A and B are shown apart, each in its own frame.
Chain A
């Protein structure tokens, strides 16, 4: 009994040690074929990258496929990530995920926001949910999806993923000034779309604030 407990504690401490390892260390282990290191990395980051994938595709299944494809690419060719270049794993992987997502979006050749929107909309809690109905959220999603590809990616990274402009510039392979410009144009375009299409009026917004 005591021995079993000791073994269990040892295993727990080993797992904890693994989980505490940095991304770079885990990636080195993945390159050596360590499946456990891969598992830890996936558990650590899959939610974050699913968020970006969903925001780019607006589709549950497609977002899941995007994240899976991206991680399988990493598993097949871990040497593709070169930590000696001084790039963070997450920065590099955001690029991988966005490239996979954009490839899929281009293949489908048309814009759509699917019913999958509802599965997330229904989970959104808070004051906004009671003030702005789901239809308006749906229309907001449509407006964002109508943005040009680069503007949409910049907005998703900087506004929704909380990535700094500098990091977004690295992810997208452009300069910081270009990111600022993309964000500015994205917001200007959204303003026009939101008001022109009466998706959300200023009056509704004021009502929302008063409520």
Chain B
């Protein structure tokens, strides 16, 4: 196998291509920096929209609609429906295999107290599962 000495290797390495910087590179970088600065200045974080701004925006949208009364009624209906849907509790009677003991353990109330609640509110519905 042939071998190269240090000087020969250096000469070969000198033959490597010399990269030429593309025209307008600096200008593009500076423009990108300006663009970034502009975006940062104009970027408004989502949480900066306050609750009152949202409420007033909603009211304005309702007033601006072609049928403001109808739109308001529908809006209230939908929002209240969502509220009830999200916060409503499934009655004990709809839960399968829930015992007074489990409810007592989860709530911290005595078994007698839970039984009393059940008796008062949903006696007929839950008696099958007790």
Contacts and interface: CB of A to CB of B under 8 A. Distances in A.
A47 B32 CA distance: 17
Nearest to A45: B26
A50 B4 contact: no
Contacts of B13: 140, 159, 190
Chain B interface size, as a band, is 20 to 34
B18 A120 contact: yes
Contact of B33 (A72, A119, A136): A72
A102 interface: no
B97 to A, nearest CB: 53
A166 to B, nearest CB: 20
Interface residues of A, number: 46
Contact of B21 (A46, A76, A140, A159): A46
A94 B96 CA distance: 68
Given A35-B33, A200-B12, A202-B8, A50 B3 contact: no
A194 B15 contact: no
15 contacts: A35-B33, A39-B26, A46-B25, A67-B25, A68-B28, A120-B17, A123-B18, A141-B16, A141-B17, A144-B16, A187-B6, A191-B4, A191-B9, A194-B12, A196-B1
